[in-house]
Structure 1
Amino acid sequence: MLKLTYTETSFCLECLAQSLEEWVQARVILSLRAGQCLCVEPSTASFLLPVNLPGVEMLKALVQREDSEIIALCVCDNECVEVTLRGCWLSNGSQDADGVFVTAMSHSPQGDRSASGTEFFLHKLWQEAQQKTSVMSE
């Protein structure tokens, strides 16, 4: 499963081996025990990757091959491709931008909790884009 944590200024993408259902269930229980409000709703999340990043063409091929409604790619311009994911948005219910978005690209009937190859690959590309951005800003 992929977890995107959003703050006012940035976001972090993580690839977790836990199933989406187990992770959301644990988060709901934690909120109940802490006496905090938790809003869980279906949503989408998008982020940009540099179009010239090695591996973007392979990601496009993976997305086409999977024919999934969970991930979509759209070329924005000569510099970026937008990655859009369908999943669940978890927040405290307020209108601010802080929250967590989670999604899973595959659901195994055998209960396999490992992340899909596309999830790992997307996470790897995002990490490479972050490294490239930090090197360019230095």
Structure 2
Amino acid sequence: MLKLTYTETGLHMERVMAPLEVAIAQRVVLAMRLGQHLHIEPGRASFLLPATAPSLKQLEQILRVDQTQAVMVTPVDQEFVEATVYGSWIAETTDAEEGVFVTVVSDMAEFLLLRLWEAQTQVSFLA
């Protein structure tokens, strides 16, 4: 499972080995124990990836083989593509800008998405 955490300082992505249902259930229990409101809804998240990264072609091949519609890769310009993933948004309110987005795709697609995102963040820090 991929977990995208949106905060006021940006996006953080990580792979989580727990099943989606378990991760969401744990978050619900935590919110209940802390007396927090919690909103969970299906949705999509998008982020930029480097268009020239060698593993981008490999990701596109994996997505074709998997025949998944949980991930779409769309060209933005010569430097970037936009990856859109479908999953569940978890936040305190319906209009929150901070929260967690979780999605499940194949292990290889998760690995490549994370690797591509990490490569993009390293490029951002160097620029």
Given the two structures, how large is their TM-score scaled by the length of structure 1? 0.87
Structure 2 unaligned segments of length 5 or more: list them: none
Number of paired residues?
127
> Match of 1:122, as an amino acid?
L
For 1:125 and 1:78, how far apart are their aligned partners in 2?
16
**Aligned residues of 2:50 and 2:116 also touching (Cα < 8 A):** no
- Tell me the CA shift for residue 53 of structure 1: 1.8
For 1:94 and 1:64, how far apart are their aligned partners in 2?
33
For 2:110 and 2:94, how far apart are their aligned partners in 1?
29
Structure 1 unaligned segments of length 5 or more: list them: 107-115
Aligned to 2:59: 59
For 1:56 and 1:117, how far apart are their aligned partners in 2?
12
Moved over 4 A (4+): none
> Match of 1:35, as an amino acid?
G
Give the alignment's Cα RMSD to 1 decimal: 1.2
**Aligned residues of 2:5 and 2:12 also touching (Cα < 8 A):** yes
Q: How do 1:1-138 and structure 2 match up within 5 A?
A: 1-106=1-106, 116-136=107-127
- Tell me the CA shift for residue 94 of structure 1: 4.9
What secondary structure, in the 3-state scheme, does the structure 2 residue paired with 1:55 have? helix
For 2:33 and 2:64, how far apart are their aligned partners in 1?
42
* Identity in percent: 38
For 1:3 and 1:78, how far apart are their aligned partners in 2?
27
What do the CA deviations read for 1:109-130 (whole angstroms, capped 9, x no partner)?
xxxxxxx111012111111111
What do the CA deviations read for 1:37-82 (whole angstroms, capped 9, x no partner)?
0000000000010101221111111111111011111111211111
